[in-house]
Amino acid sequence: MSDVTSAGRRAIVVGAGPNGLVAAITLARAGWDVTVFEAASHPGGGMRSEELTIPGAIHDVCSAIHPLAVGSPAFREIAATGALAEHGLEWIYSDVPLAHPLDGGRAAVLHRSVDDTAVALGADASPYRRLFGPLVEAGFGLTDGLMAPFTIPPKHPLTMVRYGAVGLLPAHTVARRAFDTEEAQALFAGLAGHSILSLKAPVTAGYGLMLGVLAHLVGWPLARGGSQQIASALVAVLEGFGGRVECDHRVDSLAELPPNDAVLLDVTPRQVIALAGDSLPSRYVRTLTKFRYGPGVFKVDWALDGPIPWTNTDCARAATVHLGGTLAEITASEGDVQAGRLPERPYVLLAQQSLFDPSRAPAGTQTAWAYCHVPNGSTKDMTARIESQVERFAPGFRDRIIGRHTMNTAAVEAHDANYIGGDINGGVADLRQFIARPKLGLHPWKTPLDGVYLCSSSTPPGGGVHGMCGWHAAHEVLRSVR
Ligand SMILES: Cc1cc2nc3c(=O)[nH]c(=O)nc-3n(C[C@H](O)[C@H](O)[C@H](O)COP(=O)(O)OP(=O)(O)OC[C@H]3O[C@@H](n4cnc5c(N)ncnc54)[C@H](O)[C@@H]3O)c2cc1C
Protein backbone atom coordinates (compact mmCIF):
# COMPACT_ATOMS: atom_id res chain seq x y z
CA MET A 1 0.00 0.00 0.00
CA SER A 2 1.01 3.63 -0.41
CA ASP A 3 3.38 4.90 2.23
CA VAL A 4 2.39 8.49 1.56
CA THR A 5 0.93 9.99 4.73
CA SER A 6 -1.38 12.89 4.38
CA ALA A 7 -2.69 13.59 7.90
CA GLY A 8 -5.26 16.36 8.02
CA ARG A 9 -6.45 15.82 4.46
CA ARG A 10 -10.12 15.12 3.92
CA ALA A 11 -11.69 13.12 1.07
CA ILE A 12 -15.30 12.55 0.17
CA VAL A 13 -16.19 9.50 -1.92
CA VAL A 14 -19.61 9.43 -3.60
CA GLY A 15 -20.79 5.82 -3.96
CA ALA A 16 -19.84 2.71 -1.97
CA GLY A 17 -19.36 0.27 -4.84
CA PRO A 18 -16.14 -1.78 -4.99
CA ASN A 19 -14.35 1.11 -6.66
CA GLY A 20 -15.57 3.72 -4.18
CA LEU A 21 -14.66 1.50 -1.23
CA VAL A 22 -11.19 0.62 -2.54
CA ALA A 23 -10.53 4.31 -3.26
CA ALA A 24 -11.64 5.15 0.27
CA ILE A 25 -9.44 2.46 1.84
CA THR A 26 -6.40 3.54 -0.19
CA LEU A 27 -6.74 7.15 0.98
CA ALA A 28 -7.65 6.30 4.59
CA ARG A 29 -4.65 4.03 4.79
CA ALA A 30 -2.50 6.95 3.63
CA GLY A 31 -3.76 8.98 6.57
CA TRP A 32 -6.69 10.80 4.99
CA ASP A 33 -9.96 11.39 6.77
CA VAL A 34 -12.45 9.69 4.42
CA THR A 35 -16.24 9.72 4.31
CA VAL A 36 -18.21 7.74 1.74
CA PHE A 37 -21.73 8.91 0.92
CA GLU A 38 -23.90 6.09 -0.40
CA ALA A 39 -27.42 6.56 -1.79
CA ALA A 40 -28.58 3.02 -0.98
CA SER A 41 -29.45 1.71 2.47
CA HIS A 42 -26.56 -0.79 2.30
CA PRO A 43 -23.00 -0.32 1.02
CA GLY A 44 -21.60 -2.38 -1.82
CA GLY A 45 -23.15 -1.12 -5.07
CA GLY A 46 -22.93 -4.18 -7.31
CA MET A 47 -21.86 -6.41 -4.37
CA ARG A 48 -25.11 -6.64 -2.43
CA SER A 49 -27.10 -9.72 -1.44
CA GLU A 50 -30.74 -9.88 -0.47
CA GLU A 51 -33.53 -12.32 0.39
CA LEU A 52 -35.22 -11.95 -2.98
CA THR A 53 -37.39 -15.08 -3.17
CA ILE A 54 -38.28 -17.27 -0.19
CA PRO A 55 -37.43 -16.49 3.46
CA GLY A 56 -33.86 -17.49 4.27
CA ALA A 57 -32.61 -17.65 0.65
CA ILE A 58 -29.72 -15.23 0.09
CA HIS A 59 -29.37 -14.04 -3.50
CA ASP A 60 -26.60 -11.97 -5.08
CA VAL A 61 -28.54 -9.09 -6.60
CA CYS A 62 -25.68 -8.22 -8.97
CA SER A 63 -22.17 -9.71 -8.89
CA ALA A 64 -21.80 -13.34 -7.89
CA ILE A 65 -18.52 -14.76 -9.22
CA HIS A 66 -15.26 -13.05 -8.41
CA PRO A 67 -12.12 -13.99 -10.35
CA LEU A 68 -11.47 -10.28 -10.93
CA ALA A 69 -11.55 -9.54 -7.20
CA VAL A 70 -9.25 -12.41 -6.25
CA GLY A 71 -6.88 -11.58 -9.10
CA SER A 72 -6.92 -7.80 -8.74
CA PRO A 73 -3.77 -6.04 -7.51
CA ALA A 74 -5.95 -3.80 -5.30
CA PHE A 75 -7.77 -6.67 -3.59
CA ARG A 76 -4.54 -8.68 -3.33
CA GLU A 77 -2.91 -5.71 -1.61
CA ILE A 78 -5.74 -5.41 0.92
CA ALA A 79 -6.05 -9.20 1.36
CA ALA A 80 -2.30 -9.54 1.98
CA THR A 81 -2.75 -7.78 5.34
CA GLY A 82 -5.23 -10.52 6.31
CA ALA A 83 -7.86 -7.83 6.87
CA LEU A 84 -10.50 -9.17 4.48
CA ALA A 85 -10.40 -12.65 5.99
CA GLU A 86 -10.38 -11.19 9.52
CA HIS A 87 -13.59 -9.40 8.68
CA GLY A 88 -15.29 -12.58 7.53
CA LEU A 89 -14.63 -12.71 3.78
CA GLU A 90 -14.18 -16.32 2.71
CA TRP A 91 -13.93 -17.39 -0.92
CA ILE A 92 -15.58 -20.65 -1.93
CA TYR A 93 -14.29 -22.58 -4.95
CA SER A 94 -16.44 -25.05 -6.80
CA ASP A 95 -14.88 -28.32 -7.93
CA VAL A 96 -14.37 -26.82 -11.41
CA PRO A 97 -14.74 -23.10 -12.21
CA LEU A 98 -16.94 -23.37 -15.28
CA ALA A 99 -19.06 -25.75 -17.35
CA HIS A 100 -20.59 -25.16 -20.76
CA PRO A 101 -23.23 -27.71 -21.78
CA LEU A 102 -24.07 -28.51 -25.38
CA ASP A 103 -26.97 -30.42 -26.88
CA GLY A 104 -26.85 -34.21 -26.74
CA GLY A 105 -25.61 -34.32 -23.13
CA ARG A 106 -22.14 -33.00 -23.98
CA ALA A 107 -20.33 -30.33 -21.98
CA ALA A 108 -17.04 -28.48 -22.11
CA VAL A 109 -15.46 -28.16 -18.69
CA LEU A 110 -12.90 -25.58 -17.65
CA HIS A 111 -10.78 -27.12 -14.90
CA ARG A 112 -8.36 -25.23 -12.66
CA SER A 113 -5.47 -26.92 -14.46
CA VAL A 114 -4.74 -26.02 -18.09
CA ASP A 115 -3.71 -29.60 -18.69
CA ASP A 116 -6.90 -31.16 -17.30
CA THR A 117 -8.95 -28.75 -19.41
CA ALA A 118 -6.90 -29.54 -22.51
CA VAL A 119 -7.14 -33.31 -22.03
CA ALA A 120 -10.93 -33.08 -21.58
CA LEU A 121 -11.17 -31.16 -24.87
CA GLY A 122 -9.77 -34.17 -26.77
CA ALA A 123 -8.81 -33.15 -30.33
CA ASP A 124 -8.35 -29.53 -29.19
CA ALA A 125 -5.96 -30.40 -26.34
CA SER A 126 -2.84 -29.03 -28.04
CA PRO A 127 -4.38 -25.80 -29.35
CA TYR A 128 -5.83 -25.14 -25.89
CA ARG A 129 -2.44 -25.68 -24.25
CA ARG A 130 -0.79 -23.40 -26.83
CA LEU A 131 -3.34 -20.61 -26.34
CA PHE A 132 -3.61 -20.57 -22.56
CA GLY A 133 -0.46 -22.32 -21.31
CA PRO A 134 2.11 -19.51 -21.73
CA LEU A 135 -0.28 -16.82 -20.47
CA VAL A 136 -1.08 -18.82 -17.34
CA GLU A 137 2.60 -19.59 -16.78
CA ALA A 138 3.26 -15.83 -16.70
CA GLY A 139 1.38 -15.76 -13.38
CA PHE A 140 -0.10 -12.36 -12.63
CA GLY A 141 1.93 -10.82 -15.47
CA LEU A 142 -1.01 -10.64 -17.85
CA THR A 143 -3.79 -9.64 -15.46
CA ASP A 144 -1.61 -7.08 -13.68
CA GLY A 145 -0.55 -5.73 -17.06
CA LEU A 146 -4.17 -5.24 -18.04
CA MET A 147 -5.38 -3.84 -14.71
CA ALA A 148 -2.36 -1.93 -13.40
CA PRO A 149 -1.28 1.50 -14.68
CA PHE A 150 -0.21 1.56 -18.31
CA THR A 151 3.52 2.10 -18.65
CA ILE A 152 5.82 2.49 -21.65
CA PRO A 153 7.32 -0.06 -22.15
CA PRO A 154 4.71 -2.34 -20.54
CA LYS A 155 5.79 -4.15 -17.36
CA HIS A 156 5.56 -7.66 -18.82
CA PRO A 157 6.33 -6.95 -22.50
CA LEU A 158 6.56 -10.52 -23.75
CA THR A 159 3.34 -11.61 -22.10
CA MET A 160 1.55 -8.47 -23.28
CA VAL A 161 2.74 -8.93 -26.86
CA ARG A 162 1.68 -12.59 -26.82
CA TYR A 163 -1.70 -11.58 -25.37
CA GLY A 164 -2.19 -8.66 -27.76
CA ALA A 165 -1.46 -10.74 -30.87
CA VAL A 166 -4.54 -12.85 -30.15
CA GLY A 167 -6.50 -10.70 -27.72
CA LEU A 168 -7.03 -7.81 -30.10
CA LEU A 169 -8.90 -10.09 -32.51
CA PRO A 170 -12.60 -10.93 -32.48
CA ALA A 171 -13.38 -13.97 -30.33
CA HIS A 172 -15.30 -15.53 -33.21
CA THR A 173 -12.19 -15.46 -35.41
CA VAL A 174 -9.91 -16.85 -32.69
CA ALA A 175 -12.33 -19.63 -31.71
CA ARG A 176 -12.65 -20.77 -35.32
CA ARG A 177 -8.95 -20.50 -36.13
CA ALA A 178 -7.69 -22.10 -32.92
CA PHE A 179 -10.18 -24.90 -32.35
CA ASP A 180 -11.90 -27.67 -34.30
CA THR A 181 -14.31 -29.07 -31.71
CA GLU A 182 -17.69 -27.53 -30.86
CA GLU A 183 -16.77 -27.89 -27.19
CA ALA A 184 -13.61 -25.76 -27.27
CA GLN A 185 -15.16 -23.17 -29.59
CA ALA A 186 -18.23 -22.84 -27.38
CA LEU A 187 -16.14 -22.63 -24.20
CA PHE A 188 -14.14 -19.75 -25.66
CA ALA A 189 -17.30 -18.02 -26.94
CA GLY A 190 -18.87 -18.20 -23.48
CA LEU A 191 -15.79 -16.66 -21.86
CA ALA A 192 -15.67 -13.87 -24.44
CA GLY A 193 -19.41 -13.28 -24.09
CA HIS A 194 -18.72 -11.52 -20.77
CA SER A 195 -17.49 -8.58 -22.85
CA ILE A 196 -21.11 -7.69 -23.75
CA LEU A 197 -19.85 -6.97 -27.27
CA SER A 198 -20.44 -8.67 -30.59
CA LEU A 199 -18.10 -11.68 -30.73
CA LYS A 200 -17.16 -10.40 -34.17
CA ALA A 201 -15.78 -7.18 -32.64
CA PRO A 202 -12.07 -6.60 -31.98
CA VAL A 203 -10.71 -7.29 -28.46
CA THR A 204 -13.45 -9.78 -27.58
CA ALA A 205 -10.85 -12.57 -27.75
CA GLY A 206 -8.95 -10.57 -25.11
CA TYR A 207 -11.86 -10.92 -22.68
CA GLY A 208 -11.97 -14.66 -23.32
CA LEU A 209 -8.26 -15.02 -22.70
CA MET A 210 -8.24 -12.89 -19.56
CA LEU A 211 -11.19 -14.68 -17.91
CA GLY A 212 -9.82 -18.08 -18.90
CA VAL A 213 -6.38 -17.23 -17.52
CA LEU A 214 -7.96 -16.06 -14.24
CA ALA A 215 -9.93 -19.32 -13.98
CA HIS A 216 -6.67 -21.27 -14.18
CA LEU A 217 -4.69 -18.86 -12.01
CA VAL A 218 -7.05 -17.98 -9.16
CA GLY A 219 -10.34 -19.77 -9.87
CA TRP A 220 -13.82 -18.28 -10.16
CA PRO A 221 -14.91 -18.13 -6.52
CA LEU A 222 -18.02 -16.88 -4.76
CA ALA A 223 -18.19 -15.26 -1.34
CA ARG A 224 -19.50 -17.39 1.54
CA GLY A 225 -22.78 -15.92 2.71
CA GLY A 226 -23.23 -13.72 -0.38
CA SER A 227 -21.38 -10.99 -2.25
CA GLN A 228 -22.53 -8.56 0.44
CA GLN A 229 -19.77 -10.11 2.57
CA ILE A 230 -17.19 -8.56 0.26
CA ALA A 231 -18.75 -5.14 0.82
CA SER A 232 -18.99 -5.69 4.58
CA ALA A 233 -15.32 -6.71 4.78
CA LEU A 234 -14.22 -3.68 2.75
CA VAL A 235 -16.29 -1.35 4.95
CA ALA A 236 -14.74 -2.92 8.08
CA VAL A 237 -11.24 -2.41 6.64
CA LEU A 238 -12.10 1.22 5.88
CA GLU A 239 -13.43 1.74 9.40
CA GLY A 240 -10.23 0.21 10.76
CA PHE A 241 -8.38 3.12 9.14
CA GLY A 242 -10.80 5.63 10.64
CA GLY A 243 -13.01 6.05 7.56
CA ARG A 244 -16.78 5.80 7.47
CA VAL A 245 -19.68 5.05 5.12
CA GLU A 246 -22.93 7.03 5.42
CA CYS A 247 -25.75 5.10 3.75
CA ASP A 248 -29.11 6.55 2.67
CA HIS A 249 -27.15 9.64 1.66
CA ARG A 250 -27.71 10.42 -1.98
CA VAL A 251 -25.58 13.25 -3.33
CA ASP A 252 -27.41 15.44 -5.85
CA SER A 253 -24.82 18.15 -6.37
CA LEU A 254 -21.12 18.62 -5.76
CA ALA A 255 -22.05 21.97 -4.23
CA GLU A 256 -23.69 20.23 -1.27
CA LEU A 257 -20.53 18.37 -0.20
CA PRO A 258 -18.71 19.39 2.99
CA PRO A 259 -15.28 21.08 2.70
CA ASN A 260 -12.67 18.64 1.37
CA ASP A 261 -9.30 18.26 -0.33
CA ALA A 262 -10.55 15.68 -2.85
CA VAL A 263 -13.84 14.26 -4.11
CA LEU A 264 -13.92 10.85 -5.78
CA LEU A 265 -17.02 10.00 -7.78
CA ASP A 266 -17.97 6.33 -8.07
CA VAL A 267 -20.55 7.21 -10.73
CA THR A 268 -20.71 7.18 -14.54
CA PRO A 269 -20.28 10.15 -16.93
CA ARG A 270 -23.97 11.00 -17.26
CA GLN A 271 -24.20 11.28 -13.45
CA VAL A 272 -21.00 13.38 -13.30
CA ILE A 273 -22.63 15.95 -15.59
CA ALA A 274 -25.73 16.05 -13.36
CA LEU A 275 -23.68 16.34 -10.14
CA ALA A 276 -21.41 19.08 -11.46
CA GLY A 277 -24.16 21.30 -12.84
CA ASP A 278 -22.64 23.99 -15.05
CA SER A 279 -19.26 24.00 -13.29
CA LEU A 280 -17.67 21.67 -15.89
CA PRO A 281 -15.89 23.11 -18.94
CA SER A 282 -18.01 22.54 -22.06
CA ARG A 283 -15.24 20.53 -23.74
CA TYR A 284 -15.26 17.95 -20.93
CA VAL A 285 -19.08 17.89 -20.95
CA ARG A 286 -18.92 17.10 -24.68
CA THR A 287 -16.47 14.24 -24.00
CA LEU A 288 -18.72 12.82 -21.28
CA THR A 289 -21.83 13.26 -23.42
CA LYS A 290 -20.21 11.25 -26.23
CA PHE A 291 -19.41 8.39 -23.83
CA ARG A 292 -21.43 5.37 -24.95
CA TYR A 293 -23.43 3.07 -22.67
CA GLY A 294 -23.77 -0.55 -23.71
CA PRO A 295 -26.49 -3.20 -23.69
CA GLY A 296 -28.33 -3.93 -20.47
CA VAL A 297 -29.10 -7.14 -18.61
CA PHE A 298 -32.24 -9.02 -17.66
CA LYS A 299 -31.71 -10.86 -14.38
CA VAL A 300 -33.54 -13.81 -12.75
CA ASP A 301 -33.03 -15.34 -9.30
CA TRP A 302 -34.66 -18.60 -8.34
CA ALA A 303 -35.37 -20.58 -5.22
CA LEU A 304 -35.53 -24.27 -6.12
CA ASP A 305 -36.67 -27.36 -4.26
CA GLY A 306 -33.54 -29.22 -5.35
CA PRO A 307 -30.40 -28.92 -7.47
CA ILE A 308 -30.70 -28.09 -11.16
CA PRO A 309 -31.13 -31.48 -12.90
CA TRP A 310 -28.35 -31.09 -15.47
CA THR A 311 -28.25 -33.73 -18.19
CA ASN A 312 -24.47 -33.58 -18.10
CA THR A 313 -23.52 -34.11 -14.48
CA ASP A 314 -20.26 -32.14 -14.85
CA CYS A 315 -22.44 -29.03 -14.81
CA ALA A 316 -23.20 -29.72 -11.14
CA ARG A 317 -19.46 -29.42 -10.36
CA ALA A 318 -19.24 -25.79 -11.52
CA ALA A 319 -20.47 -22.65 -9.71
CA THR A 320 -20.77 -20.97 -13.12
CA VAL A 321 -22.51 -22.51 -16.12
CA HIS A 322 -22.65 -20.79 -19.51
CA LEU A 323 -25.84 -21.59 -21.42
CA GLY A 324 -26.07 -20.66 -25.05
CA GLY A 325 -24.92 -23.64 -27.03
CA THR A 326 -22.38 -23.40 -29.81
CA LEU A 327 -20.05 -20.63 -30.95
CA ALA A 328 -22.47 -19.87 -33.80
CA GLU A 329 -25.44 -19.60 -31.46
CA ILE A 330 -23.70 -17.35 -28.93
CA THR A 331 -22.32 -15.18 -31.73
CA ALA A 332 -25.83 -14.82 -33.15
CA SER A 333 -27.36 -14.08 -29.75
CA GLU A 334 -24.80 -11.41 -28.83
CA GLY A 335 -25.00 -10.03 -32.39
CA ASP A 336 -28.77 -9.59 -31.97
CA VAL A 337 -28.26 -7.64 -28.75
CA GLN A 338 -25.73 -5.33 -30.42
CA ALA A 339 -28.17 -4.73 -33.26
CA GLY A 340 -30.86 -3.74 -30.75
CA ARG A 341 -32.82 -6.99 -31.05
CA LEU A 342 -33.88 -9.38 -28.29
CA PRO A 343 -32.28 -12.80 -28.83
CA GLU A 344 -34.75 -15.66 -29.13
CA ARG A 345 -32.24 -18.06 -27.55
CA PRO A 346 -30.11 -15.80 -25.35
CA TYR A 347 -26.62 -16.51 -24.09
CA VAL A 348 -27.26 -16.99 -20.34
CA LEU A 349 -24.70 -16.70 -17.54
CA LEU A 350 -25.86 -18.86 -14.64
CA ALA A 351 -24.48 -19.35 -11.12
CA GLN A 352 -25.59 -21.98 -8.62
CA GLN A 353 -24.18 -20.63 -5.36
CA SER A 354 -26.03 -22.74 -2.79
CA LEU A 355 -24.63 -26.00 -4.21
CA PHE A 356 -21.24 -24.89 -2.87
CA ASP A 357 -22.35 -22.55 -0.07
CA PRO A 358 -25.19 -24.13 1.93
CA SER A 359 -25.57 -20.90 3.95
CA ARG A 360 -27.33 -19.41 0.91
CA ALA A 361 -30.55 -21.46 1.14
CA PRO A 362 -32.81 -23.07 3.76
CA ALA A 363 -32.37 -26.85 4.17
CA GLY A 364 -33.78 -28.82 1.26
CA THR A 365 -33.73 -25.85 -1.12
CA GLN A 366 -31.24 -24.33 -3.58
CA THR A 367 -30.69 -20.95 -5.19
CA ALA A 368 -29.68 -20.04 -8.73
CA TRP A 369 -28.82 -16.72 -10.38
CA ALA A 370 -28.81 -15.91 -14.09
CA TYR A 371 -28.85 -13.07 -16.53
CA CYS A 372 -28.75 -12.44 -20.24
CA HIS A 373 -27.84 -9.40 -22.30
CA VAL A 374 -30.58 -7.25 -23.82
CA PRO A 375 -30.59 -3.91 -25.66
CA ASN A 376 -30.00 -0.90 -23.40
CA GLY A 377 -33.22 0.18 -21.68
CA SER A 378 -35.23 -2.87 -22.83
CA THR A 379 -38.16 -3.62 -20.53
CA LYS A 380 -39.00 -6.94 -22.19
CA ASP A 381 -39.49 -9.82 -19.76
CA MET A 382 -36.87 -12.45 -20.74
CA THR A 383 -37.81 -14.95 -18.00
CA ALA A 384 -39.35 -17.52 -20.35
CA ARG A 385 -36.40 -17.37 -22.79
CA ILE A 386 -33.84 -17.69 -20.00
CA GLU A 387 -35.72 -20.59 -18.41
CA SER A 388 -35.97 -22.33 -21.80
CA GLN A 389 -32.19 -22.23 -22.08
CA VAL A 390 -31.84 -23.82 -18.61
CA GLU A 391 -34.54 -26.39 -19.38
CA ARG A 392 -32.76 -27.25 -22.65
CA PHE A 393 -29.74 -28.53 -20.72
CA ALA A 394 -31.58 -29.54 -17.52
CA PRO A 395 -35.01 -30.99 -18.34
CA GLY A 396 -37.27 -30.75 -15.29
CA PHE A 397 -35.69 -27.48 -14.10
CA ARG A 398 -38.95 -25.52 -14.29
CA ASP A 399 -40.68 -28.01 -11.99
CA ARG A 400 -38.11 -27.24 -9.29
CA ILE A 401 -38.89 -23.52 -9.10
CA ILE A 402 -40.48 -22.52 -5.79
CA GLY A 403 -39.63 -18.82 -5.89
CA ARG A 404 -38.58 -16.36 -8.58
CA HIS A 405 -37.44 -12.74 -8.70
CA THR A 406 -36.77 -10.87 -11.93
CA MET A 407 -35.22 -7.53 -12.82
CA ASN A 408 -35.49 -5.83 -16.19
CA THR A 409 -33.07 -3.05 -17.10
CA ALA A 410 -35.20 -0.42 -15.31
CA ALA A 411 -35.18 -2.47 -12.11
CA VAL A 412 -31.42 -2.99 -12.39
CA GLU A 413 -30.93 0.78 -12.70
CA ALA A 414 -33.36 1.41 -9.83
CA HIS A 415 -31.22 -0.90 -7.68
CA ASP A 416 -28.00 0.94 -8.58
CA ALA A 417 -28.09 4.28 -10.39
CA ASN A 418 -24.76 3.48 -12.11
CA TYR A 419 -26.38 0.80 -14.27
CA ILE A 420 -27.69 3.21 -16.89
CA GLY A 421 -30.28 1.43 -19.04
CA GLY A 422 -29.13 -1.82 -17.39
CA ASP A 423 -25.48 -1.45 -18.51
CA ILE A 424 -23.49 -3.24 -15.78
CA ASN A 425 -20.07 -2.24 -17.17
CA GLY A 426 -20.27 1.54 -16.68
CA GLY A 427 -20.14 2.01 -20.46
CA VAL A 428 -19.33 -0.02 -23.56
CA ALA A 429 -15.94 -1.69 -23.13
CA ASP A 430 -14.89 -1.89 -26.76
CA LEU A 431 -11.40 -1.00 -27.98
CA ARG A 432 -12.20 2.71 -28.28
CA GLN A 433 -13.63 3.04 -24.79
CA PHE A 434 -10.94 0.81 -23.34
CA ILE A 435 -8.40 3.39 -24.48
CA ALA A 436 -10.50 6.52 -23.87
CA ARG A 437 -12.42 5.76 -20.67
CA PRO A 438 -13.96 8.29 -20.39
CA LYS A 439 -11.23 10.41 -21.98
CA LEU A 440 -7.97 9.78 -23.76
CA GLY A 441 -4.73 10.31 -21.86
CA LEU A 442 -2.68 9.02 -18.96
CA HIS A 443 -4.95 10.55 -16.31
CA PRO A 444 -8.53 9.54 -17.19
CA TRP A 445 -9.48 9.61 -13.47
CA LYS A 446 -8.91 13.38 -13.25
CA THR A 447 -11.68 15.79 -14.13
CA PRO A 448 -11.03 19.43 -15.08
CA LEU A 449 -12.49 20.45 -11.68
CA ASP A 450 -9.83 21.02 -9.07
CA GLY A 451 -9.76 18.08 -6.62
CA VAL A 452 -12.59 16.14 -8.33
CA TYR A 453 -11.84 12.64 -9.62
CA LEU A 454 -13.82 9.90 -11.31
CA CYS A 455 -13.28 6.43 -9.77
CA SER A 456 -16.05 4.19 -11.17
CA SER A 457 -15.97 1.42 -13.77
CA SER A 458 -16.35 4.17 -16.39
CA THR A 459 -12.58 4.60 -15.95
CA PRO A 460 -9.80 2.04 -16.66
CA PRO A 461 -9.76 -0.88 -16.39
CA GLY A 462 -13.59 -0.94 -16.63
CA GLY A 463 -16.38 -3.16 -15.29
CA GLY A 464 -16.28 -5.94 -12.72
CA VAL A 465 -15.58 -6.24 -9.02
CA HIS A 466 -11.84 -5.58 -8.84
CA GLY A 467 -11.65 -2.12 -7.28
CA MET A 468 -8.86 -1.09 -9.64
CA CYS A 469 -10.64 2.02 -10.94
CA GLY A 470 -10.87 3.25 -7.35
CA TRP A 471 -7.29 2.23 -6.62
CA HIS A 472 -5.99 4.18 -9.65
CA ALA A 473 -8.09 7.25 -8.81
CA ALA A 474 -6.90 7.25 -5.19
CA HIS A 475 -3.26 7.02 -6.29
CA GLU A 476 -3.91 9.87 -8.71
CA VAL A 477 -5.14 11.90 -5.71
CA LEU A 478 -2.10 10.95 -3.63
CA ARG A 479 0.20 12.04 -6.45
CA SER A 480 -1.64 15.32 -7.04
CA VAL A 481 -2.52 16.51 -3.53
CA ARG A 482 0.54 16.72 -1.31
C1 LIG B 1 -26.67 -8.60 -12.67
C2 LIG B 1 -25.20 -8.27 -12.52
C3 LIG B 1 -24.28 -9.30 -12.46
C4 LIG B 1 -22.92 -9.01 -12.30
N5 LIG B 1 -22.06 -10.05 -12.14
C6 LIG B 1 -20.77 -9.80 -11.85
C7 LIG B 1 -19.91 -10.86 -11.46
O8 LIG B 1 -20.34 -12.00 -11.31
N9 LIG B 1 -18.60 -10.56 -11.22
C10 LIG B 1 -18.11 -9.27 -11.32
O11 LIG B 1 -16.91 -9.06 -11.10
N12 LIG B 1 -18.93 -8.25 -11.66
C13 LIG B 1 -20.24 -8.46 -11.91
N14 LIG B 1 -21.09 -7.43 -12.18
C15 LIG B 1 -20.54 -6.08 -12.42
C16 LIG B 1 -20.14 -5.37 -11.14
O17 LIG B 1 -21.16 -5.45 -10.18
C18 LIG B 1 -19.81 -3.90 -11.46
O19 LIG B 1 -18.94 -3.82 -12.56
C20 LIG B 1 -19.15 -3.23 -10.27
O21 LIG B 1 -19.99 -3.29 -9.14
C22 LIG B 1 -18.84 -1.77 -10.60
O23 LIG B 1 -18.28 -1.17 -9.46
P24 LIG B 1 -18.36 0.40 -9.21
O25 LIG B 1 -17.78 0.65 -7.87
O26 LIG B 1 -17.77 1.11 -10.37
O27 LIG B 1 -19.91 0.78 -9.23
P28 LIG B 1 -21.14 0.19 -8.41
O29 LIG B 1 -20.84 -1.12 -7.83
O30 LIG B 1 -22.30 0.29 -9.33
O31 LIG B 1 -21.32 1.20 -7.20
C32 LIG B 1 -21.75 2.53 -7.38
C33 LIG B 1 -22.37 2.98 -6.07
O34 LIG B 1 -22.61 4.39 -6.15
C35 LIG B 1 -23.87 4.67 -5.56
N36 LIG B 1 -24.34 5.94 -6.09
C37 LIG B 1 -24.63 6.24 -7.38
N38 LIG B 1 -25.00 7.53 -7.48
C39 LIG B 1 -24.92 8.06 -6.24
C40 LIG B 1 -25.19 9.36 -5.69
N41 LIG B 1 -25.60 10.37 -6.49
N42 LIG B 1 -25.02 9.56 -4.37
C43 LIG B 1 -24.58 8.54 -3.57
N44 LIG B 1 -24.34 7.30 -4.02
C45 LIG B 1 -24.50 7.06 -5.34
C46 LIG B 1 -24.73 3.48 -5.98
O47 LIG B 1 -25.86 3.35 -5.14
C48 LIG B 1 -23.73 2.34 -5.80
O49 LIG B 1 -23.74 1.83 -4.50
C50 LIG B 1 -22.47 -7.67 -12.27
C51 LIG B 1 -23.40 -6.63 -12.31
C52 LIG B 1 -24.77 -6.92 -12.40
C53 LIG B 1 -25.78 -5.80 -12.36
Average pLDDT along the chain: 96
Q: Is the CB of 40 under 6 A from ligand 1?
A: yes
Span 196-208, pLDDT tens digits: 999 999 999 999 9
Amino acid letter for position 343: P
pLDDT of residue 1 exceeding 60: no
Give the span between the Cα atoms of 56 and 67, in whole angstroms: 26
Residue nearest to atom 36 of ligand 1 (CA): 15
Residue nearest to atom 27 of ligand 1 (CA): 17
Ligand 1 mutation target, pool 424, 437, 458, 472, most atoms within 8 A of CB: 424
Residues forming beta bridges with residue 349, ordered by sequence position: 322, 371
Give the span between the Cα atoms of 455 and 265, in whole angstroms: 6
The Cβ of residue 169 has, within 10 Å, a number of other Cβ atoms equal to: 18
Mean pLDDT of 443-451: 97
Beta strands in 140-261 (DSSP E): 222-223, 244-246
Q: 154: pLDDT confidence band, cut at 50, 70 and 90?
A: confident
Q: Is the CB of 371 under 6 A from ligand 1?
A: yes
Q: Is the CB of 415 under 6 A from ligand 1?
A: no
Span 338-379, pLDDT tens digits: 999 999 999 999 999 999 999 999 999 999 999 999 999 999
Ligand 1 mutation target, pool 416, 423, 469, most atoms within 8 A of CB: 416
The Cβ of residue 260 has, within 10 Å, a number of other Cβ atoms equal to: 18
CA 266 to centroid of ligand 1, rounded, Å: 9
Span 374-403, pLDDT tens digits: 999 999 999 999 999 999 999 999 999 999
CA 17 to centroid of ligand 1, rounded, Å: 5
Q: Is the CB of 271 under 6 A from ligand 1?
A: yes
Give the span between the Cα atoms of 314 and 110, in whole angstroms: 10
CA 180 to centroid of ligand 1, rounded, Å: 38
Plot region of 258 (φ>0 → left; ψ -120 to 50 → alpha; else → beta): beta
Give the span between the Cα atoms of 436 and 453, in whole angstroms: 16
Q: Is the CB of 68 under 6 A from ligand 1?
A: yes
Is residue 409 within 8 A of residue 298, CB to CB? The reply is yes
CA 265 to centroid of ligand 1, rounded, Å: 13
C-alpha atoms less than 13 angstroms from C-alpha of 478 in its C-beta half-sphere: 23
pLDDT of residue 282 exceeding 80: yes
Question: What is the structure's pLDDT at 440?
Answer: 94
Q: 5: pLDDT confidence band, cut at 50, 70 and 90?
A: very low
- 171-178 and 182-192 helices cross at what angle (nearest 10)? 160
Q: Is the CB of 15 under 6 A from ligand 1?
A: yes
Mean pLDDT of 75-91: 96
Residue 286 neighbours by CB under 8 Å, 6+ apart? none
Q: Is the CB of 60 under 6 A from ligand 1?
A: no
State which ligand 1 atom lies nearest to the alpha carbon of 455: 26
The Cβ of residue 345 has, within 10 Å, a number of other Cβ atoms equal to: 18
